[in-house]
Amino acid sequence: MIKYKGIYKYQETKMREYILKNNLKLIYKKAESELSSICISLNAGAGVEKGKLGLAHATEHMLYKGTEKRNEAQINKELSSIFGFQNAMTNYPYVIYYGTLLNEDLEKGIEIFSDIIIRPAFPVEGFKEEMDIIKEELNEWDEELEQYCEDKLFFNCFNERRIKHPIIGTKESLNSITLMDIKEFYVENYFPENTSIVVISSKSFEEVKDIVVKHFEQWDKRKLNREEEKYIIEYDKLVTRRFNDKRDGIKTCKVQMVFPIDMLNHNETKLLKVFNEYFCEGVNSLLYDTLRTKNGLIYDVIASINNENYIKLYKIMFTTSKENVDKCIELINNCINNLEHYKININKEDINGFVKALKIKRLFKEEKSIILAKELAVYDTMFGDYNIYVDELNNLSEIYKEEVFKVAEKVLKASSVQVIC
């Protein structure tokens, strides 16, 4: 990743970036709105934990317990007074602090975020209380059947990958975490060069830049000791078999199938998204037509492409009766094995239709500027370049079915299947 210290460059995407003197990156996009959105992303998610699971999430919680000049009550009161939406979230590849507020309150919002992130107090009196809250959160973690099924699947099909265990940690690990562990995790992972800030606002770039410099350039510069491992992550192979587990009190079966996509480059991932519009997106998709329209075996079938670091999976999900589970899995595998046959009936107009559907969904989602801010920030954290996200919609008109199906065949080779009945 090229560093531009103390200068900014103008992007073809009408976006600007600026690298502060301490190596923190600001990404700016002009908006025509009375609202501004902020997303601060750090490479400090669960994937970088060393030893005790749940440290990343616990650290995120503790940052809100107080700073050198604000206690918890003051933080909550000030955030509530200016943000229409505000939250923090820990994922495997990142942690983010984000929100939307009026343009007139942008500097105040950035100042509060800077205080929380740069000057946490980590009060002893707030530690036990927060860990008790997190433990209760863990107790409720997999109450939803979808989450329960995913947790079982990831635990069963991976040996070493961090996603084998929930982001929040395990009961054993949470009981072992100390306040010193959190302080050490913070020191190791919270620093300017590990941070990207996205601001989407109608305020000028110069105004936004000056605000971010004023409140974040005081953060002490630190050298990134794990530059190489930041973007190069090893993925252990998943166990390719079917796992069957039971859960009391359910009348139907939840099924999830996952396929690894860590071997795909960014262009191939874009092609897989186009393929998914054909394969498993909506009532006209191949899987919906096969499983529901023609056979009446399911109510709905959904697929997701998770290209985030530490995850990298293509997942198919559906719910059906116990007696129909085997038939559904068989039909899905038949569709996969006969892709060459189905490809014959796909023409360029069809591909263009899939591309159009993909564009509409993404642009509709980005109508909320906080969604766009989040995507830009986390892409920059994960891949070192937010333009990878921006470029996903470029050159789609030049896509042809041969390359789309070639990527599909590359991905849909071997799966892990989790059945919960």
- pLDDT per residue over 354-367, tens digit each? 999 999 999 999 99
* Rounded-to-integer distance, Cα 181 and Cα 173, Å: 11
Is residue 289 exposed (0-12), middle (13-18) or buried (19+ Cβ within 10 Å)? Answer: middle
Instruction: Delineate the domains of the chain, giving CATH numbers in brackets.
Output: 8-231 (3.30.830.10), 242-420 (3.30.830.10)
Token digits of residue 130: 């927060």
Token digits of residue 80: 């509530």
| CA neighbours closer than 13 Å in the CB half-sphere of residue 150 | 18
* Rounded-to-integer distance, Cα 354 and Cα 348, Å: 10
* Rounded-to-integer distance, Cα 9 and Cα 309, Å: 27
* Rounded-to-integer distance, Cα 340 and Cα 363, Å: 31
Tokens 């959190």 correspond to what residue? 182
pLDDT tens-digit profile of 62-93?
999 999 999 999 999 999 999 999 999 999 99
Measured torsion, CA atoms of residues 147, 149, 150, 153, in degrees rounded to the nearest 10: 160
pLDDT-derived band at 12 (thresholds 50, 70, 90) equals very low
* Rounded-to-integer distance, Cα 381 and Cα 155, Å: 26
Q: What is the CA radius of gyration of the chain?
A: 23
pLDDT tens-digit profile of 112-129?
999 999 999 999 998 999
Cβ atoms within 10 Å of 104's Cβ, excluding its own: 11
| Predicted local distance difference test score (pLDDT) of residue 62 | 97
- Indicate the DSSP class of residue 350: H
The share of the chain scoring above pLDDT 90, in percent, equals 88
* Rounded-to-integer distance, Cα 257 and Cα 303, Å: 9
Calculate ∠ Cα 229-234-238, nearest 5°. Answer: 155
The pLDDT mean for the chain works out to 93
Pairing of strands 195-201, 301-306: unpaired
| Predicted local distance difference test score (pLDDT) of residue 225 | 57
Among candidate residues 267, 287, 265, the one with its CA nearest the CA of residue 276:
287
| Distances in whole angstroms, Cα of residue 37 to Cα of each of 103, 208, 227, 327 | 9, 12, 29, 47
- Indicate the DSSP class of residue 24: P
Is residue 77 exposed (0-12), middle (13-18) or buried (19+ Cβ within 10 Å)? Answer: exposed
Token digits of residue 348: 């360029």
* Rounded-to-integer distance, Cα 258 and Cα 149, Å: 12
pLDDT tens-digit profile of 18-68?
999 999 999 999 999 999 999 999 999 999 999 899 999 999 999 999 999
| Predicted local distance difference test score (pLDDT) of residue 216 | 98
| Predicted local distance difference test score (pLDDT) of residue 407 | 98
pTM over 0.85: yes
